[in-house]
Each structure stands twice: as structure tokens, then as C-alpha cells.
Structure 1
Amino acid sequence: MKVDIVAKEIIKPSSPTPDNLRSFKLSLFDQLAPAVYGPMIFFYPNGDTTHHAFLADQQSHHLKKSLADTLTRFFPLAGRIKDNFTIDCNDYGVGCVEARVNCLLSEILEHLDLEALNQFLPFELDSTESSTDSLILVQSTFFNCDGVAIGVGLSHKLTDGATYGTFLKGWSATALGVGDTVVPLFNASSLFPPRNLSTMTSMALNFSKEKCVLRRLVFAAPKIDALKAITASPGVQNPTRAEAVTALIWKCALNAARSNSRILRPSLLSQSVNLRSQIVPPLPENTIGNLGAHISARKDESEIELQGLVREIRRGKQDFSKKYVKKLQDDAFKAITETFKEAVSMFKSRDIEFYKLTNMSNFPFYEIDFGWGKPTWVTISGATLKNLVKLMDSREGDGSIEALVILSEKDMTLFECDKELLAYASLNPSLLKLNPMRPMTPLLTSSL
């Protein structure tokens, strides 16, 4: 498969940003976030193969116009980072790429090559381009007759998972003609003002550059129900879907790491959490910016068992709610500084097996409709950090979960053959066998 770039342009907001909004202040959480792009790819089938070229031109025009209209409301994302305090909102615009690929979307979905999916993204993984250039990059890749892939990258400097979801919902609503139903709120810096972080510059995190591999796992809803039943205990009587799946992945990954190293190191699982619902009073989900923190679950050197891991995951959530959130609201800078120092210490320690979890299983990404129906598949593929796990809902919408797991080559060799794991998960199943492609609706064609 070869993806050919056919056009590049800058999409600016369809109306100018008022002068009084030209300087946007970052929050304390934004200051600490890296200027890397968060990747997502949406795959949409096309029911009209007879007039494919004409339809592709329509889709491209519609995407760019609706993006320009969306940027008028999400104006900081059309700006440029000035420094670690400010975004210059002078309507510089966002990068938009159009591409063609001489194969069928159905071929991609039938035989998924996770590494090849990066060609549908308009940036290199782990790129820091957003520190000086576009905060959003978009690539529309049109397949030979049967669909389109929309690859999106939003700079982590201003977006966490919730902001990513809000922007996509806003763009989708605009494309459907109801853009005023999604209104972003830009008040995070008033709640968590930026600070001078010069004392923290010496604490930069150095992630492992070890060769890693990526695998996709699908946990069907009935399997998750069975997994929840065996992970339940008096301490956690009703594990969540994510807790049960996370515990199993953590156990199998840690078993693989211990088998290869022959050392019983303790392990730490760090999971990102949305602060909007934790703060008192809660913040609306459409509050823009980085408003996340990390909860930790720890496993000592003893034998690993699923119920114990679930208890540790739940205990980490409870400790976070009781301790960190109160500290955060009393003195945000002190709380964040202390937590950051602890994280750096753990990262630098070679005596801990560290795992990072991103859970996006409750985000409605399969509702993102640009005018021709819902996607047939959505993936958050990308990133190459060792011991990273990403969860999101599968397209069936029945409670199934799709997991992307990144481990070292040696650990993955053992992990993907673990019998306990494979009793509950399918390894990279074909998307067409699970659910045939649904053709696009004619809404876009009739509206242009």
C-alpha cells in the first residue's frame, strides 16, 4: 500500500478572531503538557462507487469548509504557540492534507497492518511540530472507490482526551449544520493560572527508546462479563469493564516482563483521569485544555492474581479522589509539583516495571458523522512508547473493548501467546468478519 499526497493547504477560520481574543493564556496543566500530536483515524465506507471521483471532491470540499467554520469557535487551535504562557490567536490556520491510495478500504479492514496505518496520519509519530506550527493537522485519504480515512492530530499542548472529543463533536455538528450545539469553554487558565516552571526544567522525562511492537486486542462483551465475574471480590464487588480488562493486560504483560528479566520487580500502573468530574463543583466536559491527572496502582514483588490487581486499581482511584483532588484545589501548583517530582523519580528508577494506561472507552467517537454516516472503524493507533496500553470502545457498541498494547519485542513474544489472555481476547480480528462495512448515507451528496 502506498499513500500519495496530492494537495496541501492551510485552512483558516471562516471569520476572523476578534482583537480582544488574539492572546490566549495557557493553564498550569497546559504548560506541563508536551507539544506532540494525539493521533486518531476515522474510516468511512462509500456506497457510491460509480461516481467516486466526484464524491471524493465533494467530501473534501465539505470537510474543509466545515473545518474552517469550526475553527471560528475553537479559535486558539488555529493559532500558534508563542511561549509556555501564551497562544497567539492570529488565525494562522491548520494544516490540511489530501491523499489518494490505490487500494480498497475493505482490503485494509480485512487484513489490518497496524504499522501501515501511520500513513493515514499527516505527521510523524512523536513529532513536536506543534511547538512551532499548526496545533491541528488533518489528512483525508481517499481509497479506490470504497471510502475515505480521516486522520487527525491535535496538539497535546492544549488538548486532553475530553478536549479532543469536544473538538471532534463540534466539527461533526458543524458538518451536519448544527454547529451551535457544541460550545467550547475557555476558562481553564482562570481556574489554574500559569506559573513560572523554571524550577522544573531539570526534571524532563526520558522515555525508553527500546524497540517496541504494537498489538490490537478485542474483548467481546460476553468475555468481559466473564472476566468481571472472576475479578470480583469482597473488596471490589462489581469491577468496571475497564478495570477487568486492564487487570488482565497488566497481569499478562508483567508475567512476560518477569519471565524475560528473571527478576521480580514491583510494578506501577499509571492511568490518566479526567479532572472535570472530580473537581468540586464539577467542570463542564466542554471545558477546553489539559485537565487531567494520573492515578497509580502498585503491585509488589509477590505473586500476581487478578482480584488483587483490580483492588489495587480501585484503591488508586479512591486515594486520588480523597487526597490529590483536595490538594489540587487548595494549592494547585504545590500539588502538581509534588506529583511531578514523584513521577520523575519513578520513571528514573530501574527497580520498577512501569505501565501507562490511556482509557478512552467512554468517548463517543463512533458518533462522529461529517455528513455521510458514522465511521465503520476508529483507531487511536500511533505512539511507540514502551509499556503503553490504550483502551476504547469497539464499533459494535455493545460494551466490547478494543485495546492497543505496546511492549518490547521480547515481552510481546510471550504476551501475545499467553493462554489466559487469549481465553478472553481475540488478537487482531478482521473488522469485516466482525461487522461488514456500512455504506455512507447520501446526506452529503444531497446537501451540496
Structure 2
Amino acid sequence: MMKQNERTSSSNCEVKLETLNRVLIKPSKPTPPNLQTFKLSLLDQLSPNFHGNTTFFYPNYNNINHSSHFLEKSKLLQNSLSQTLTLFYPLAGNLQDAATINCNDGGVFFIESQTNTTLSEILTNPDFDTFECFLPSTDEKQILNLLLIRFTLFDCGSTAITVSLTHKIADFNTLITFLKTWTAVCGGDTKILPDLTTAVNLFPPREFPAISASVKTSNKKITSRRFIFEASKIEELKTRVKRTVEFNPTRVEVVLALIWKCALSTTATKTTSFFKHSILLQAVNLRTRMEPTIPENAVGNLIWPFSVTVEDECHVAIDEMVKRMRKGMREFIESKVERFKEEGWFEFVMESLKERVKINEGSLVIYRSSSWCNFPLLENDFGWGKPVWSCSVNKVVSNTIALMDTKDGCGVEAFVTLDEDHMEFFQQDQELLNYAMLNPRIII
């Protein structure tokens, strides 16, 4: 393999990433003519056309030849990806217009890379600037269609797989379905099939005014930090909240409330003035909330946010935030989810969208959150073991909070993305650090 280009991280830990090879992977079987035009659902139409990037890190537990073993793994990944794309055939096409994908079997790029560092070196002090190396480069973004895969060899023989998948057709649940299918095909199982029709049948594409649900990107430099909430600290938070609430709060509710509270407190510190209103948008997976439930393997953006508001600094108390989160979720499930099933669902979506546009255009302090807890992120075994860790790098949208399980499944790992000057204060907040560890070492 020949080196084509080299990328260097901008972090304190200098990591050089060399692109060794770039292969166009096409579906193993041609897409039938009757399937070559894939209709997006209305919720897909409203989704932003930028890529989510998730990287999985796989330790090397043996001492066999690194280069030859890497090539064997790469060949297995490429062959199984080709078979998987036959099942996920829209991902091998390209966007034709706002409502359709041209399933022309154009393929996806599989990029082989190597780095000059070891996995243990970068996981000793996980740094998001370092992980940015694993994302598509400027040249690769120009050829990037709906999906890109990067397979990286570390100096120690460990590997990383980066999946860069467009939000235009995929939410986080879709990513998990894709990975489940790909790993199953790697093991010789072709029985796991994606559901490509339910989303568009429930929410067929429509023509509508020029309104976008896209989030606003930050014009400032943004940065991400990782915080770990161990199970014992989460129990402390729950005990604190249960003094004034009449229900048993979830770990996601208490962790999210604390992060939101501390972010708002440090906003006041940074600006030397208190906020008037803040809104937290929480993404809800409609698959499990609809009645009857939507199949778990349904592909598409089957999520919708509900909002929680606090008016001023006087209301920024964790127990009050948790109460409002629980009330907002209950109202969303009991009233708004039902409207997705009614005849006037399109009008409801448009009303909600207009409200969201007003929120984006206003002077409110807005935070967006997603919970990936209980998703099998660390179960993706391609044949050489499960990943020791995974992360998603957000270089687009500020004021975001993503939660996932810690490796033991009991704690919560939080990725928080803020404007860089805001993060300087947030990561030093003592109330936050009473419950969370800032970026501890990941043990292999």
C-alpha cells in the first residue's frame, strides 16, 4: 500500500494519519430497476444534510504481523460491506433532489489509513482534536456521498473504524441497525434485514414552504469535552433530586439536568449577566413511542424533539429541571405523539417546525440533547473482538449534549460541545466536578 496523503491533529498529542488506500465499494448485487428511486420520508426531508461521525476503537490482543493482519481485516470489512450495501442500497447512491435518492450503485468510499501512535497513547488522554483526524478530510468530503468508512491501523496493531453517515437518511438508531447488519454479515449471517419502507409509508414526502428544521451552526470555534458520571455519583444526584420530586428520576434526567444547569451558570459567568430564557431540546425515538410501535430496524429519521424551558436564574435548580423534563416527556407522549398518527399529522409537523424556527431565530439560550444510553454501541464485533470505546466528534453545532453508557453499563458518559470560550468556564464548574470526572483515562 502506498501513502497518498498525511494529516496531523492540532491537539497537544501530535498524531499523523496517512491515507494508504481508497477503495470504492459497490453493492455485491445490482439494485433492481424498480428500487432505483428511493423516496425519503418527510422527516428525512427536514433533516440536515451533514454527516455524523462515529469512531470505534479495537485493541490488538495478539502479536501477529500487524500489516498482514490489517490487510486481512480490511478485506473482510470490504467484502462484507459490499454485501451489506445490497441490503442498504440507498447508501450506495446519491441525493437526487430534496425527496429522493438515486440508487445507482455508485458505491461508498472505504479508506485505509495508518497512524504513528498507539491506541493506549491516545486513550490515556482522549482528545477530540486528535479524534478529528479520523474524520473525512477536505478532499474526502468533496467525494463524500451518503456514507464513508475509514479503517485505521495503529502502531501497536490496534484498529479503529470510523463510520461517517449522513443525517439526511439516518438517525442514531439507523446507524445501530447498519452496524448490526454489517457485523452479522461479517459473521456469515444475512438474516438481519433493514426496514426501508416503514418511514416513508408513515410520513410520505410532501412539498412545503421553504422552512428548514436544520440547526444553526456556530460561527465561533467550538470544542467538546468528555465527562464520566459513575453509578455512585448518579445515585447521589438522584437522592438529591428525590427530596422534592414525587417520582424516581432516571440517570439520564439527573445527569442532563446537572449539565444544563452548570452550562447556564457558566453562561452567566462568561457574559456577566443572567439569561432570561433557556430551552433544552430533547430528541425522542418515535419507534418505541408510537402505538403500534415502529420496527426497531426501520431506517430513517424517526425522531422528534420536545422542549423544556426555564425562565431565569431563579428557576435553575436541578430538581425543578428534572420535574420539567418529566412533564415535557409525558405531555409529548400523551398528546403530541398521537398527532403523528392522525390525519392532520402534516399540519402538526409544520406547526412544530415553525415553532422551532422561531426558537432558532430568537435570543434564547438553546441546548440540544440526545441520549444513546441502552444502545449496544460497544457490541459491534467484526470478528476480532468488541471495541473498547467509541466516540462521536461534533464539529458543526454548539450547545449540544450527547449521553451514552459507560463500559460497565451503569454510569453515563457525556460528550458536551460548547463555544470554546464558554467551555473554558464550564469544565471548571465545581458543582459539575463534584459529580463528574473530566476526561479520565480509558482502560484497555
The TM-score, its normalising length taken from structure 2, stands at 0.92
Q: Which residue of 2 aligns with 1:163?
A: 174
Post-superposition offset of 1:223: 1.1
Post-superposition offset of 1:380: 1.5
Q: Which residue of 2 aligns with 1:319?
A: 331
Preserved CA contact (<8 Å) 1:36 1:128: no
Give SS of 1:424's match. coil
Task: Go from structure 1 to structure 2 and tell me whether the alpha carbon gap of 1:124 and 1:271 turns closer, same or farther (over 3 Å shift).
Answer: farther
Q: Which residue of 1 aligns with 2:296?
A: 285
Preserved CA contact (<8 Å) 1:43 1:150: yes
Q: Which residue of 1 aligns with 2:415?
A: 404
Structure 2 CA distance, aligned partners of 1:152 and 1:236? 42
Preserved CA contact (<8 Å) 1:118 1:382: no
Post-superposition offset of 1:123: 4.7
Identity %: 39
Matches within 5 A, 1:78-97: 78-97=92-111
Q: Which residue of 2 aligns with 1:240?
A: 250
Post-superposition offset of 1:80: 0.9
Greater mean alpha carbon deviation, residues 2-11 or residues 375-384: 375-384
Specify every segment of 5 or more residues in structure 2 that has no aligned partner in the other structure, as ranges: 1-14
Q: Which residue of 1 aligns with 2:114?
A: 100
Structure 2 CA distance, aligned partners of 1:337 and 1:144? 51
Task: Count how many residue pairs are aligned between Structure 1 and Structure 2.
Answer: 427
Preserved CA contact (<8 Å) 2:47 2:214: no
Task: Go from structure 1 to structure 2 and tell me whether the alpha carbon gap of 1:328 and 1:123 turns closer, same or farther (over 3 Å shift).
Answer: farther
- Alpha-carbon displacement from aligned partner over 1:320-345 (angstroms, at most 9, x marks no partner): 11221122222221111111111111
The amino acid of 2:53's aligned partner reads P
Q: Which residue of 2 aligns with 1:395?
A: 407
Q: Which residue of 2 aligns with 1:267?
A: 278
Task: Go from structure 1 to structure 2 and tell me whether the alpha carbon gap of 1:179 and 1:232 turns closer, same or farther (over 3 Å shift).
Answer: farther
Task: Go from structure 1 to structure 2 and tell me whether the alpha carbon gap of 1:325 and 1:156 turns closer, same or farther (over 3 Å shift).
Answer: same
Matches within 5 A, 1:146-157: 146-157=157-168
Matches within 5 A, 1:24-43: 24-43=38-57
Task: Go from structure 1 to structure 2 and tell me whether the alpha carbon gap of 1:253 and 1:111 turns closer, same or farther (over 3 Å shift).
Answer: same
Post-superposition offset of 1:205: 5.2
Specify every segment of 5 or more residues in structure 1 that has no aligned partner in the other structure, as ranges: 438-448
The amino acid of 2:347's aligned partner reads K
Q: Which residue of 2 aligns with 1:442?
A: none
Structure 1 CA distance, aligned partners of 2:365 and 2:321? 14
Task: Go from structure 1 to structure 2 and tell me whether the alpha carbon gap of 1:26 and 1:375 turns closer, same or farther (over 3 Å shift).
Answer: same
The TM-score, its normalising length taken from structure 1, stands at 0.91
Preserved CA contact (<8 Å) 2:87 2:194: yes
2:23 maps to 1:9: yes
Greater mean alpha carbon deviation, residues 185-194 or residues 423-432: 185-194
Post-superposition offset of 1:27: 0.5
Post-superposition offset of 1:134: 1.9
Preserved CA contact (<8 Å) 1:236 1:311: no
Structure 2 CA distance, aligned partners of 1:343 and 1:128? 29
Q: Which residue of 1 aligns with 2:265?
A: 255
Matches within 5 A, 1:48-447: 48-123=62-137, 133-200=144-211, 206-233=216-243, 235-261=245-271, 262-301=273-312, 302-330=314-342, 331-350=344-363, 352-397=364-409, 399-432=410-443, 437=444
Q: Which residue of 1 aligns with 2:6?
A: none
Deviation above 6 Å: which 4+ runs of structure 1?
A: none
